Structure 1
Amino acid sequence: MSLARLRSGFEWLLEVITMLLVVSLTVVVLLGVTFRFSGNSLSWYDEVAAVMLAWVTYYGAALAALKRGHISVPGLVFSQPRAVRMTLVVIGEIIILTFFVMLAAYGVRVIQILGGSTLVSVPIPIAVTQSTIPIGAGLYVLAELFNLPTILREAWHGKAPPAEHDIVEELP
């Protein structure tokens, strides 16, 4: 299986997970608002919505990383000579990968510390809710690794990644 097919499958998986999380969060928020408006507030709404928002954030961040949609300064980097450009790109990637590997490791530690605790309003283990930290960080690392060959190739050749206004996705 080629790297392009793996990347495409990974992108599809992240899109599906993120979409399902956004739709689920929307349903929970609509239920919460509807019940609150009717005078019968749901006791679990706030806590579950907050957890789901965190999940959307982590999975969405990994998807944005895979699509190279995070804020960057390519004009500054790609205006430099090749040696400086490559150094900046490699240092940037090392910082990103190190941060997310550490986030994953400390996320596992958080889960270990909170072990048997559950959410206040529903009997869901905190380990399940906090699992998004190491999982999301791991997915972010995978996204960066999938993009690394392209990032290094573009830096070597001095070709800046496409700007936002240059990217047009065709609808099927």
Structure 2
Amino acid sequence: MSTLARVNLLLERLLEVLTVFLLLALTTIVIAAVGFRMMGNSFSWYDEVASIGLAWLSFYGANLAALKRSHMGFPGLVSRAPTSIRATLFIVSEVTVISFFMIIAYYGYQVLEILAWDSLVTLPTIGLNITQSVIPISAVLFILCELLSMPMAWRKMHSGLNSESEEIEAAIRQAEEDLKEHRA
């Protein structure tokens, strides 16, 4: 396994663990908050913390999707384009995405400096710069994920493959296998 593949796998596992942790934490908070509210003893911080948790889950989940090249895009459009145009479309797409997230990272960091003196309303010991740190961190991670997955995406693009077609074919194979098992 190449160094790039190892780094890719390590980052994938790290993001999977982080997103599962965030999902479990958010689920626990919501269930506990509902339970306490039913007993007439609501958490004052629930709404604020749950919305931040959902934002973190969304941002880090998007990083995982970027690493797996499962984020929104138009791979079918690129793979069906004439061979002479594919590379240009791919490069323009990658430059656009990476440039966008560079802007998000830059301005996300600027926002942290502005929010450095503010805190959560219901939990004043937690600064907004901590809760909003997800923006520049996940933007940099998104760029890293794009760069790490780019060689594989480049090879697929050159061969005319796309992730949508591969997923559809895998789902059809699985459905055919399930049908055979069901009939047997």
Task: Give your verdict on TM over 0.5.
Answer: yes
Whole-Å separation in 2 of the counterparts to 1:14 and 1:108:
21
> Of residues 129, 145, 148 in structure 2, which corresponds to 1:146?
148
Larger radius of gyration: 2
CA deviations on 1:120-159 (whole Å, 9 max, x unpaired) are 0002010100000011111111110011111222222323
Kindly, what percent of the aligned residue pairs are identical? 44
How far off its partner does 1:15 sit? 0.4
> Of residues 138, 143, 159 in structure 2, which corresponds to 1:136?
138
Whole-Å separation in 1 of the counterparts to 2:113 and 2:7:
31
Going by fraction, where is helix more abundant, 1 or 2? Answer: 2
One-letter identity of the residue aligned with 2:139: A
Whole-Å separation in 2 of the counterparts to 1:160 and 1:97:
20
One-letter identity of the residue aligned with 2:162: A
Q: Which runs of 5+ in 1 are unaligned?
A: none
Q: Report which stretch shifted further, 13-22 or 71-80.
A: 71-80
Whole-Å separation in 1 of the counterparts to 2:118 and 2:34:
28
Taking structure 1 as the reference length, the TM-score comes to 0.92
State the Cα RMSD in Å. Answer: 1.4
Q: How many corresponding residue pairs?
A: 168
Give 1:12-161 correspondences, 5 Å limit: 12-122=13-123, 123-161=125-163
One-letter identity of the residue aligned with 1:32: A
Taking structure 2 as the reference length, the TM-score comes to 0.86
What is the aligned partner in structure 2 of residue 9 from structure 1? 10
What is the aligned partner in structure 2 of residue 164 from structure 1? 167
